[in-house]
């Protein structure tokens, strides 16, 4: 079974997908700053297990459409893209699995379209129901004199000016900063924050690439972003307040479909949201498993064998 690349015309946009296998549809949604390629170690395993695994490029990434309007990257548009992909494959429902931003996209797709997404798997970022304080206000209050990276990403062109002159080098540093085997020492500056007048890159470790990332892997990721630029990817962060408004009617809502969570014990994204994991009996009442693996943020690339085993077990249980 070889992987097939397709461009789907959905809702006036193009969505690039990579498909492998046949059987029940499983949609794989990547995070920042990645692409369908982050699922390269899951596609063949899920296909062999009897599933039609489809990894997409989220709009703004890779070969998918890159609308100019920042508001075109709001969550409701991404949910619509996911529904349209399911329909384009001739299916009425699918399991959706996401990592990082993809986990949030997957969770909210399942929340808003429960008839389409019959189960959901979340990697690295726990489910937090919509609602609560306005996101921009929360992030502005973090850092104690430093700027949280989400706030740093808000202004159009600012982060792009840091990243795009050396995409490959920036990606190498970012991936390394959040990987368990290349993280800086515990007393090093936190790479999630920016000093006044500084950049994120100043906080990245230097040296060897993380063990999960080959030079060829890095070349692939770099080539994608050198072609597309980073604005589409960063626009996801620039819609968090819009999402908060759009999803207000879902404030506090649980996801009732079967669900799975996988996180890393050395991943800040998982640890910061430990309260969200504690709330799973209420917010994910049909959770089939919550597993913490010894790894950093790039869980399905750092620990592919364990992730694959847990995903197949989850899918087989449905």
Which one of 100, 243, 246, 267 is the catalytic residue?
A: 100
- Cis status of the peptide bond prior to 240, with omega within 30 of 0: no
Backbone angles phi, psi at 291, to 5 degrees: -125, 130
175 near 200, Cβ under 8 Å? no
State whether residue 164 is helix, strand or coil. Answer: helix
Number of H helices, E strands in the chain: 15, 10
Q: Which residue has the tokens 């989400």?
A: 150
Which one of 30, 99, 192, 297 is the catalytic residue?
A: 297
Please report which helix (H) or strand (E) contains residue 116, including its range: none
Let me know if 100 is a catalytic residue. Answer: yes
Let me know if 81 is a catalytic residue. Answer: no
Please report which helix (H) or strand (E) contains residue 14, including its range: strand 13-20
State whether residue 202 is helix, strand or coil. Answer: helix
Q: How far is CA 304 from the centre of its chain?
A: 16
Active site residues: 100, 297
């Amino acid at each position: 079974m070889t992987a097939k690349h397709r461009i789907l015309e959905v809702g006036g946009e193009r969505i690039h997908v990579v498909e492998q296998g046949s059987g029940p549809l499983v949609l794989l949604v990547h995070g920042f700053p990645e692409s369908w390629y982050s699922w390269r170690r899951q596609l063949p395993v899920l296909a062999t297990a009897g599933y039609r695994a489809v990894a997409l490029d989220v709009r703004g990434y890779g070969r998918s459409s890159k609308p100019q309007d920042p508001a075109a990257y709001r969550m409701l548009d991404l949910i619509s893209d996911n529904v349209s992909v399911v329909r384009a494959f001739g299916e009425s429902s699918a399991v959706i699995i996401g990592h990082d931003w993809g986990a949030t996209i997957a969770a909210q797709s399942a929340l808003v379209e429960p008839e389409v997404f019959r189960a959901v798997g979340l990697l690295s970022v726990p489910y937090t129901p919509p609602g609560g304080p306005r996101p921009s206000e929360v992030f502005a209050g973090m850092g104690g004199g430093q700027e949280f990276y989400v706030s740093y990403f808000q202004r159009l062109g600012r982060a792009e000016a840091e990243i795009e002159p050396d995409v490959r080098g920036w990606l190498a540093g970012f991936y390394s900063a959040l990987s368990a085997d290349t993280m800086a020492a515990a007393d090093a500056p936190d790479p999630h924050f920016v000093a006044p007048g500084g950049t994120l890159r100043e906080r990245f470790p230097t040296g060897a690439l993380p063990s999960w990332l080959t030079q060829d892997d890095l070349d692939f990721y770099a080539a994608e972003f050198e072609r597309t630029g980073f604005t589409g990817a960063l626009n996801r962060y620039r819609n968090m307040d819009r999402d908060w408004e759009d999803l207000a009617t879902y404030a506090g809502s649980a996801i009732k479909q079967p669900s799975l969570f996988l996180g890393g014990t050395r991943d800040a994204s998982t640890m910061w949201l430990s309260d969200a994991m504690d709330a799973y009996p209420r917010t994910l009442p049909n959770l089939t498993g919550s597993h913490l693996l010894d790894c950093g943020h790039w869980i399905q690339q750092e620990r592919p064998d364990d992730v694959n085993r847990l995903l197949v077990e989850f899918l087989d249980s449905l």
